[in-house]
Amino acid sequence: MNRVNPLAARYYRLKSGHVPVRTYLKRFGHQDDDKCWWCGCGGRTVAPTWEHLFHHCSQWRFQDAMLWKKVGIATGWRACRCRHVQVSKLLSMEQCDSAVIQFLITTDIGKFLFKLSEE
């Protein structure tokens, strides 16, 4: 029996855009609201998406700072440029993979924090 590495599964869900965040789960009827599990923000102006999780979520402030510092080192970008990079661009750059993987290791992002109903 082959087992999937949970970290690899989270990483590839993230790269493919299938991250189990509430906005994604609400769209498919698995959650009632789209508030962020970790910091509680949400609603029309700040929907918790992967952009929120990688740039704005107060729960992951320290891990976020470390991620973008490592991205800056890997790419040669200055900190101000890193803060405005879209996550989709970040995930398309091979030199940023280790920073993203380290970010996933130190956070719960990409983990299923709920149980889907089996209706």
Instruction: Measure the CA–CA gap between 67 and 23, rounded to whole angstroms.
Output: 23
Q: What is the mean pLDDT of residues 42-64?
A: 74
pLDDT per position as a tens digit, 60-95: 899 999 999 999 999 998 877 887 888 888 989 999
The residues near 89 (Cβ < 8 Å, ≥ 6 apart) are: none
Is residue 47 within 8 Å of residue 79, measured between CB atoms?
Answer: no
Higher pLDDT, 102 or 52: 102
DSSP assigned state of 85: -
pLDDT for res 102: 95
pTM of the model as a whole: 0.76
pLDDT per position as a tens digit, 3-43: 668 888 888 888 877 666 655 556 656 566 667 777 877 65
Q: Is the pLDDT score of 46 beyond 60?
A: no
**Identity of the amino acid at 111:** K
DSSP assigned state of 65: H
| CA 115 distance to own-chain centroid | 19
Q: Which two tokens stand for residue 56?
A: 């704005």
